[in-house]
Amino acid sequence: MEQFLYAAEVVVNGLMAGVMYALVALGFVLIYKASGVFNYAQGVMALFAALTLVGLQNGQVPFAHMINATFGTHLDTFGWTLPAIVAIALTALVMVGLAIAIEKLVLKHLVNQVPIILFMATIGLAWFLEGLGDVMWGADIKMLDVGVPKGASEALMTVTEQWTGYGFYIDRLDIWAAAIAAMLVAALMVFSQYTKQGRALRAVADDHQAALSVGISLRFIWVLVWSIAGFVALVAGIMWGSKSGVQFSLSLIALKALPVLMLGGFTSIPGAIVGGLIIGVGEKLFEFYVGPLVGGATENWFAYVLALIFLVFRPQGLFGEKIIERV
Amino acid sequence: MLYREAGDFKTSYREDSQTFPLRLDRWGYYATLAVAFLVIPLVINDYWANAVLVPFLVYSIAALGLNILTGYAGQVSLGTGGFMAVGAYATYKLSTSFPDISILIHILLAGGITAVVGMLFGLPSLRIKGFYLAVATLAAQFFLVWLFNKVPWFYNYSASGQITAPERTVLGWFVTGPQTSAPAKYLVCLVFAVGLAWIARNLTRGTVGRKWMAIRDMDIAAEIIGVNPLTAKLTAFAVSSFFVGVAGALFFSVYLGAAEVGEAFGINKSFLILFMVIIGGLGSIFGSFAGAAFLVLLPVLLKNVLVGTLGWPTDLAAHIELMIVGALIVVFLIVEPHGLAQLWRLTKEKLRLWPFPH
């Protein structure tokens, strides 16, 4: 019984971790659907958003390190701190600006290129953003605190203690993340079903040429979708940043989102969520049962191998569109 | 006028099917080889060997391997770093277990072992295509790195978890270990690079290469005209992994001397080599070398300018370097998506007429 309850706790924590992966995967799916671009930079966008948020909150001087090195000054901070909500709004603006810049400087020139070239371009973009984030705000690990509660949920622990005799440990941050992710998905659904722009977005995702021919501006849709992806990245950045500090490894979670996408299918929003949950639970359980036998740290590769094996049986993922090929 | 294809007549099949059928190409090739083998070893010093030439040659071999898989056979792989690690660890295990056999044979055997591993991870390519396959190869990358980290047998139970190249000689010269001279390092890598490039060139011109290209262009159509996708894809994975394995073996034993798997063969290495292939030009042997040269020289150049001339601290310079490399890659993809090989083709086109307008 004890063992079973412990495994159940692992499952619940896996679900929570899965929500975090799904948050990143969501940004991927949005961009892939609307522009056919496989955006490797999504994880770095989350890192960049989190760095900008912390920088704005603490009133850091952007590019301080570079200015100091060039002019011999000793700039550090402006000496103010912004309230979290203002900083978040400003960061969202920065992400919109970034989306416009990406569309103007990169995407516009790469229309009609083969997917691998676009993918490579987003890797170049990822390197650029990573460098930019470090140069602007400094490369040291930062703490992000926007008022999301952290630590074990006492209430849940006592309730489960009473019911089963075993107190479940669940981080309050994870519960918040799950709630926010649910709200985000709901908002995206409402947006894409009931607004004009949302409909245009779905039309573009369906068929570029048909959308163009009924007068939808592709470039506006791209800016829109990259802005939304930037916003999703900001949310993911806040959640991951509050959980484990804002640091370089944040951009690596993007890679974890890839097997999530493969499981769920590149083109499906529910797929991203379900895939995230499966990967989250799967890797936690595997680490719990098999990890001790093989030396641990299986979380590094389990997701990829699971996705690989899964794809051999269903190449388009769980919810992906069926692949039809003609000669 | 300067570059001529006309007037180069062949009188036998042998002449017609030689590696470089055009006289001008052939002379250029011999001249390059003469400089590479006879001149450079005499003038090379440690800085040039370690910072530029040896990494250039090693990365060229890896880029050649990936180009065979991605450029010729059309299977995108992000597992190059993992396969390089297989080559490195195989050389390490072989050369410490059988110290009497020449290290050159060990390096080739390591390539063979990598080829087997590569075929194993290539099996899913029969079912999965495109980006799904690219992400699936990440499984190889992460699993192999984890394996070499966690199983102590692979690093001979050393306390640091590192592998260190034992000192080995070829014809009385040290080629691995700290006593190796710059010309020796350079020459070993050069011999492998030239030999493998020659093999790659001839493979891609022949039946095997044509099958790969048929699969790349449209696999279902290729299957219908009688290309067996199983053998074509698996030979591509095997040959490619062989090249990458040899590159990994040289990278560890000759260039680095000691390696820690996560650092030397991480995911960034996979991307770096993919960039070399893309920037050099997909489906081009020359492009593999050009791409490797570009991405080896660029950071050296940037570092010299930023740290040497502008005097910025190294950590800042490293970040700016990342920005510039990233931006340059994007610019490059926008300006010339077919890579440096295409620029070279255009140059030849121009030279054919120059200085006349028509």
Whole-number Cα distances in Å, A81 to A54, A86, A145, A240: 10, 10, 12, 21
Domain that holds residue A149: 2-255
Residue type, A18: G
Q: Mind telling me how many Å the CA of B128 is from chain A's nearest CA? A: 6
A304–B136 CB contact, under 8 Å: yes
For A284-300, write each residue's pLDDT tens digit: 888 888 777 777 677 77
- Domain count of chain A? 1
pLDDT of A1 > 70? The answer is no
Closest partner residue to A315 (CB to CB) among B128, B150, B326 is B128
B134, B324, B337 member nearest A117 (Cβ): B337
Q: Tell me, yes or no, if B330 comes closer than 8 A to chain A by beta carbon.
A: yes
% of chain B at pLDDT higher than 90: 25
Q: Which of A174, A245, A241 is nearest to A19 (CA)?
A: A174
Residue at A99 is within a domain: yes
Answer whether residue B178 shows pLDDT above 80. Answer: no
Whether pLDDT at B244 is above 90: yes
Distance, CA of B95 to CA of B118 (rounded, Å):
21
pLDDT at res. A157: 67
Query: How long is chain A?
Result: 327
| Residue A156: per-residue pLDDT | 67
pLDDT higher than 80, residue A265 = no
The band of B116, judged by pLDDT with boundaries at 50, 70 and 90, is very high
Give me the pLDDT at residue A84, please.
78
Determine, yes or no, domain membership for A45.
yes
Is the residue at A314 inside a domain? no
With CB atoms and an 8 Å threshold, state whether A106 touches B334.
yes
Element (H, E) at B259: strand B258-259
Contact B261, B145 (CB under 8 A): yes
- Under 8 Å between Cβ of A279 and A18: yes
Chain B contact probe: residue of A33, A304, A306 with most B CBs at under 10 A: A304
Mean pLDDT of chain B: 86
B29 at interface of A, judged by CB pairs closer than 8 A = no
In a domain, A292, yes or no: no
Cross-chain Cβ contact A124/B312 below 8 Å: no
**Cβ neighbours of B146 in A, within 8 Å:** 297-298, 300-301
Question: Which of B138, B310, B329 lies at the smallest CB-CB distance from A124?
Answer: B329
pLDDT at B26 over 70: yes
Burial class (CB in 10 A: 0-12, 13-18, 19+), A313: exposed
Residue A61, domain member (yes or no): yes
Average pLDDT, chain A: 80
Task: Read off the pLDDT of each residue in B159-176 and give the average, rounded to a whole number.
Answer: 77
Rounded percentage of chain A residues whose pLDDT exceeds 70: 88
pLDDT in tens, B227-242: 998 899 999 999 999 9
Q: Note the pLDDT of residue B108.
A: 93
Residue B327 Cα, gap to closest chain A Cα (Å): 6
Instruction: Quote the ipTM score.
Output: 0.80
Secondary structure in 3-state letters for B123-182: HHHHCCCHHHHHHHHHHHHHHHHHHHHHCHHHHCCCCCCCEECCCCEECCEECCCCCCCH
Instruction: Give the mean model confidence (pLDDT) for residues B151-174.
Output: 79
Report which of residues A157 and B44 the model is more confident about: B44
Q: Is residue A301 part of a domain?
A: no
Q: Determine the average pLDDT of the residues in A210-218.
A: 86
More confident residue, A153 or B203: B203
Alpha carbons B341 and B284: distance in angstroms, whole number: 7
- Is B344 or A140 the better-scoring residue by pLDDT? B344
| Average pLDDT of span B72-89 | 90
Would you state the structure tokens that stand for residue A243, as one six-digit string? 């959980």
Mean pLDDT of B168-179: 75
Asked if the C-beta of A292 comes within 8 angstroms of chain B's C-beta atoms, the answer is: no
Segment B277-304 mean pLDDT: 88
Task: Please give the average per-residue pLDDT across A158-171, as a whole number.
Answer: 68
- Cβ of B136 within 8 Å of Cβ of A125? The answer is no
> Least CA distance to B225: which residue of chain A?
A327
Give the contacts of B32 (CB within 8 A, at least 6 positions apart).
Answer: none
Residue B1, pLDDT above cutoff 70: no
Q: Looking at residues A113-132, what average pLDDT do you find?
A: 84
Residue A166: what pLDDT?
67
Q: What number is the average pLDDT over the span A194-205?
A: 84
Query: Which domains does chain B carry?
Result: 22-266 (1.10.3470)
pLDDT at position B245 is: 94
Decide if pLDDT at A69 tops 80.
Answer: no
Identify the weakest region by mean pLDDT among A243-257, B184-198, B222-236. A243-257
How far apart (Å, rounded) are the C-alpha atoms in residues B16 and B14? 5
pLDDT tens profile A44-66: 888 888 888 888 888 777 777 77
Q: Is position A226 within any domain?
A: yes
**Assigned domain for A234 exists:** yes
Q: What is the pLDDT of residue B109?
A: 92
Backbone angles phi, psi at A164, to 5 degrees: -115, -10
Is 80 exceeded by the pLDDT of residue B70?
yes
pLDDT at B200: 92
Residue contact A258–B327, C-beta within 8 A: no
Mean pLDDT of B280-305: 88
Choose between B129 and B120: higher pLDDT.
Answer: B120
**Which of B1-5, B81-85, B221-225, B229-233 has the lowest average pLDDT?**
B1-5
Q: Is pLDDT at B59 greater than 90 in this prediction?
A: yes
Stretch B40-63: mean pLDDT: 87
- Across the range A153-181, mean pLDDT stands at 72
B 139-178 → A contacts, CB under 8 A: 139, 141-143, 145-146, 149-151
